[in-house]
Structures are given as C-alpha cells and as structure tokens.
Amino acid sequence: MGTVRNKNKVADLIKKYPETFCCEILDVTDVPAIRNLVDDSFEKLESIDVIISNAGYGLFGAAEELSDAEVDHIIATNLTGSIQLIRSALPHMRTQGGGRIIQISSYGGQVAFPGNSLYHATKFGIEGFCDSVAQEVAAYNIGITLVEPGGARTEFRYGKRTGCESNARIRRESGT
C-alpha cells in the first residue's frame, strides 16, 4: 500500500506491480482521510508490519515574512499529518501484536539555521513526538524509528523554485 499526491508520478510502479502495489491518493492535511485510509488499509491487508511516514516540504524564509496560511500549511503537513498517521496506526498495531513505524524527519530536527524556522519547528516537533510515543508503545512490541537525513542533491534542496513570492523564500516539496 502506498499513498501519493499524484498517481502519475508512480504510474510505472502501478503498471509493473498491479497485483502487489495498491496506490491511493492522500492529502496528509486531511485528518479524516488519514484515519479512513489507515482503517481501510488494515482491514484490507489484515496486518501491516511497517508504516513509513514521509510527507513533508520545506518552507524557507524569515519567520516574519511567511503568511499565516503558509505557517498553518507546513505545520499541518510536516507535523500534524505525521502525528495523525501514527496515532491512527497504533491501535491496529497493538491489536496485531506489534509493528514498526518509520518517520522520515531531517537533520533539521537537530540543528537550526536562519531562514528555516518553520521547517525546523516541524522537524523538532515530530522528533519529540516520536521519541515520546516510542516509549509509550514499546511494551506493545511497536517500534518507532526516526530517519534524519542530511543534505542531499535532490529536488527538495536543488529543484525548481515553486510558490515563491520573493527570491528570499523558496518552498520545495519532497516525496510524491
């Protein structure tokens, strides 16, 4: 089971693995959609051993120049969406006797640089959440792994500028 924002980006996988790759559209800012998809996925597949939470994007610029809508959206995507995905999966994993959640975070959850305040806020937040929840669910044979990659030559860091109102603010999205 995989979720994407745009199925066209994984059309080759859907075509190559029609019997083994089920692809669904998911907007991680839509909490009811997260819950419905998680519930439906566990029902359909009966058990899920590993969940990888990878949704996120960077919003770069001085804190005071970002709009309220931009602030709300990055928090909803990078922090709240991941929290709700994990919260939705935990009861199912507890019922099935265990599992593992892999949360993709960033080196930006450990250090802070100017012009990245909201990105860092979301990454520090998801890391604190996962560290705490990992302790809460360890007794249920549920593990949580944080992956904190550093800089890489990907579209996230080096891609085209999108959604820029000024040269000082660059928003790049990662994942599909």
Which residues does residue 2 pair with via DSSP β-bridges, in sequence order? 23
123 is catalytic: yes
Tokens of 63: 């804190």
Which listed residue (53, 106, 117, 119) is catalytic?
A: 119
Whether the Cβ atoms of residue 22 and residue 2 lie closer than 8 Å to each other: yes
Whether the Cβ atoms of residue 104 and residue 147 lie closer than 8 Å to each other: yes
C-alpha–C-alpha distance, residues 32 and 162, integer Å = 28
119 is catalytic: yes
Which listed residue (88, 105, 106, 117) is catalytic?
A: 105
Q: What is the DSSP letter of 75?
A: I
Q: How far is CA 65 from the centre of its chain?
A: 25
Amino acid at 62: A
Q: How far is CA 55 from the centre of its chain?
A: 3
Which listed residue (123, 140, 158, 174) is catalytic?
A: 123
44 is catalytic: no
Residues annotated as catalytic are 105, 119, 123
